Amino acid sequence: MRGFIEVLEDDLATQEQLAAFLAEVERRAFKLAVFAVRDQHLALDIVQDAMLKLTDKYATRPEAELPLLFQRILQNTIRDFYRRQKVRSLWTTLFSSLQAKEDNEEYDPLESIETEGLGGKTDGPADRLERSQIARVIGQGLERLPPRQREAFLLRYWEELDVAETAKAMGCSEGSVKTHCSRATHALAAFLKDKGIGL
């Protein structure tokens, strides 16, 4: 009678089986990702990322489990992409609310945007292009911020932590978080203006 370990080893996917599975699923996964994000380069990145995650975390799982695991990883990777896009588009929206409250260092633009919403605007190709260009400029502006302002900004608007969670992560008061975020958004708004991007 075969031992439990021998049976278990037979159930685990070998390197060759994993490679064969990835080769078989790659084309279908790519098509699915293209349909989801409508960009071949982004779709390729998403599929490669999903394959790496499967290989890193689940290479020793039984071969029969690989298809469902990979689909879940792929869908989560696509959702992560849309989450990042949503946050980037939020960056471009939040600067419009800065002008009226410049004196209030504890003013948090994210709170008003969360309340007011994004206005239900359509998301056409020109809008997406403009947002991606603005996001690139914002990235340049972020590099110029003092470290604490950049940390607060990224935790609030990229990681989407609330003020209390950000304060805990940074080891400071909630008021300090609001001050850092306010200064960061004002500095980034000025940087955008210098680059010819109106608010």
11 pLDDT above the threshold of 70? no
| CA dihedral over 26, 32, 36, 39, signed as positive or negative | positive
Closest CA to 135 of 91, 188, 198, 181: 91
Number of compact structural domains in the chain:
2
For the purposes of burial, counting CB atoms within 10 Å of the CB of 190, is it exposed (0-12), middle (13-18) or buried (19 or more)? middle
For the entire predicted model, the pTM comes to: 0.43
Same domain, 47 and 123: no
Identify the pLDDT of residue 8: 34
138-168 pLDDT, tens digit each: 788 888 889 889 888 888 887 778 898 888 8
Domain check: are 61 and 135 in the same one? no
Q: Name the pLDDT band for 9 (thresholds 50, 70, 90).
A: very low
Q: Do 189 and 116 reside in the same domain of the chain?
A: yes
Same domain, 146 and 68: no
184 and 105 within one domain: yes
Is it the case that residue 19 has pLDDT exceeding 70? Answer: yes
Residue 87 has pLDDT above 80, yes or no: no
Written in H, E and C, the secondary structure of 3-54 is CHHHHHHHHECCHHHHHHHHHHHHHHHHHHHHHHHCCHHHHHHHHHHHHHHH
92-151 pLDDT, tens digit each: 565 555 544 555 566 555 555 444 444 444 456 776 777 777 777 878 888 888 988 988
Which CATH number does the domain housing residue 113 bear? Answer: 1.10.10.10
- For residues 13, 16, 22 and 25, what is the CA-based torsion angle, rounded to 10 degrees? -90
Would 199 be classed as within a structural domain?
A: no
Count of other CB atoms within 10 angstroms of residue 58: 17
Q: Has residue 48 got a pLDDT over 90?
A: yes
Q: Average pLDDT for residues 11-37, to the nearest whole number?
A: 83
- Which tokens in the block code for residue 157? 């608007």
Q: Are 107 and 177 in contact (CB under 8 A)?
A: no
Task: Count Cβ atoms below 10 Å from residue 62 Cβ, excluding itself.
Answer: 14
Burial class (CB in 10 A: 0-12, 13-18, 19+), 15: exposed
Write down the pLDDT at residue 50.
Answer: 93
pLDDT confidence of residue 1: 40
Q: Sign of torsion, CA 56 59 61 63?
A: positive
191 falls in which pLDDT band (50, 70, 90)?
Answer: confident
Region for 120 from its dihedrals, namely left if φ exceeds 0, alpha if ψ lies in -120 to 50, beta otherwise: left
Q: How confident is the model at residue 53 (pLDDT cuts 50, 70, 90)?
A: very high
For the chain, give the mean pLDDT. 76
pLDDT by residue (tens digit) across 172-185?
999 999 999 999 98
Indicate if 31 and 66 belong to the same structural domain: yes
Give the pLDDT confidence score for residue 194 in this predicted structure: 87
Range of the domain at 40: 4-83
Would residue 11 count as lying in a domain?
A: yes
